[in-house]
């Protein structure tokens, strides 16, 4: 199963990853740099929790009132949750009534479980049980991205997780960007294990579409992109089809992190991995009987340069979800730029009956 971070591992991420890859010639592939990166991430999570406790004087717990509207017309602002005893009591009541406290976080293209460190900390503070997975060839998963050719391969850590989930348990899936295609794939094959699906500025495609179609306005048609893009990687040689792509770091800054803090951008710049082409060029087969019966929600990011608000609005119109939420002032990475706003919305979605 793929690498994952959860509440049970946040304080010993470095040591756990060392054990996982330790022993045997094959398992010694992991470098000192990867171990240091995992330890740094563990410290980042702990530092974030401590700073939030200091700023807010204690627990982050709060009940978020449910909404009867299918759309949120007033975008959420990124204000810290308050430390009010009455709200803390309401928070405990709301947690008791949830269908599930488990939230599975699926990263987007080039990212890994590491990008969710703020969201993990905030959800845990609120009593939820988050787990962030590394998709195949992402984060610290060692598989060569040039050998990942299908959405099934790319999504395997997620499908393995759902396959091993006890029959009486469900989760809330959250998919960022192209990770939305993995969520759609999971909805089609494991709909009985999923309470709700949240597409975070994600590729919420319709039946017969591929994840790349969503970005076609910015990147050009898939045919043109495959012929002319300077970002392509030919892992099997120039004479063979491209196997992946990787944006230049300066371009990523403008597309993904136009509202994000400098420290988070620095973390991303040393952590992003090449993006396998095969999974995002694969047409999804989504049925009304399976995918169509699942509860879907969409979170729009209103300062997004990678997936513009207009394109996100079109996704919502073409494939309507149950609810739509908006985050004001967020770039393509709200887990960096607007973590409090994202957290509030995730709690609100969790309690919608």
Q: What are phi and psi of 130, to 5 degrees?
A: -85, 150
Residue-level length of the chain:
353
Contact 171, 245 (CB under 8 A): no
E-only strand ranges, 88-170: 102-106, 129-133
Query: Cα torsion at 334, 340, 346, 348 (round to 10°)?
Result: -140
Give the whole-angstrom CA distance, residue 243 versus residue 140: 19
| Other C-beta atoms lying within 10 Å of the C-beta of residue 191 | 18
Q: Which 8-state DSSP code applies to residue 69?
A: S
Give the whole-angstrom CA distance, residue 135 versus residue 202: 15
Q: Which 8-state DSSP code applies to residue 26?
A: G
Dihedral sign computed on CA atoms, order 218, 248, 234, 143: negative
254: its two tokens? 């403008």
124: its two tokens? 């845990």
Q: What are phi and psi of 144, to 5 degrees?
A: -65, 125
CB burial class (10 A; 0-12, 13-18, 19+) of residue 115? buried
- 42, 61, 177, 341: the active-site residue: 177
Q: Confirm whether 160 is a catalytic residue.
A: no
Q: Confirm whether 213 is a catalytic residue.
A: no
SS3 content of the chain, % helix, strand, coil (to 5): 45, 15, 40
Q: Confirm whether 304 is a catalytic residue.
A: yes
- 304, 330, 331, 337: the active-site residue: 304
- 48, 107, 176, 332: the active-site residue: 332
Q: 211-219 — which CB contacts under 8 Å span 24+ positions?
A: 211/178, 211/180, 211/181, 211/279, 211/280, 211/282, 211/284, 212/280, 212/281, 214/307, 214/311, 214/315, 215/306, 215/307, 217/308, 217/311, 218/306, 218/307, 218/308
Which active-site residues does the annotation give? Answer: 177, 304, 332
């Amino acid at each position: 199963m793929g690498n994952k971070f959860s509440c049970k591992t946040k304080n010993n991420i470095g040591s756990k990853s060392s054990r996982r890859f330790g022993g045997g010639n094959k398992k010694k592939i992991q470098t000192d740099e990867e171990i240091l990166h995992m330890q740094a991430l563990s410290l980042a999570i702990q530092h974030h929790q401590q700073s939030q406790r200091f700023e807010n004087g204690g627990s982050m717990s709060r009940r978020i009132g449910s909404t009867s509207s299918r759309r949120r017309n007033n975008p959420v602002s990124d204000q810290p949750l308050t430390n009010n005893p009455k709200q803390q009591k309401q928070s405990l009541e709301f947690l008791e009534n949830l269908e599930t406290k488990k939230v599975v976080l699926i990263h987007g293209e080039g990212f890994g479980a590491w990008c969710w460190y703020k969201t993990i900390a905030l959800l845990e503070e609120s009593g939820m049980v988050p787990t962030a997975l590394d998709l195949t060839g992402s984060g610290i998963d060692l598989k060569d991205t040039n050998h990942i050719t299908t959405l099934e391969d790319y999504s395997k850590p997620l499908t393995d997780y759902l396959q091993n989930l006890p029959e009486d348990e469900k989760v809330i899936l959250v998919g960022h960007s192209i990770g939305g295609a993995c969520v759609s794939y999971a909805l089609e094959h494991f709909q009985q294990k999923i309470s709700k699906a949240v597409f975070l500025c994600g590729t919420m495609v319709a039946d017969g579409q591929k994840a790349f179609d969503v970005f076609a306005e910015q990147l050009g048609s898939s045919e043109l992109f495959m012929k002319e893009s300077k970002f392509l990687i030919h892992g099997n040689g120039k004479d063979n089809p491209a196997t992946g792509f990787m944006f230049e770091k300066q371009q990523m800054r403008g597309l993904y992190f136009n509202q994000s803090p400098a420290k988070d951008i620095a973390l991303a710049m040393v952590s992003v991995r090449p993006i396998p082409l095969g999974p995002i060029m694969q047409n999804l087969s989504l049925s009304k009987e399976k995918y169509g019966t699942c509860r879907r929600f969409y979170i729009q990011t209103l300062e997004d340069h990678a997936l513009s608000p207009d394109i996100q609005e079109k996704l919502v119109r073409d494939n309507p979800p149950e609810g739509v939420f908006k985050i004001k002032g967020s770039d393509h990475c709200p887990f960096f730029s607007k973590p409090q706003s994202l957290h509030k919305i995730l709690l609100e979605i969790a309690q919608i009956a």
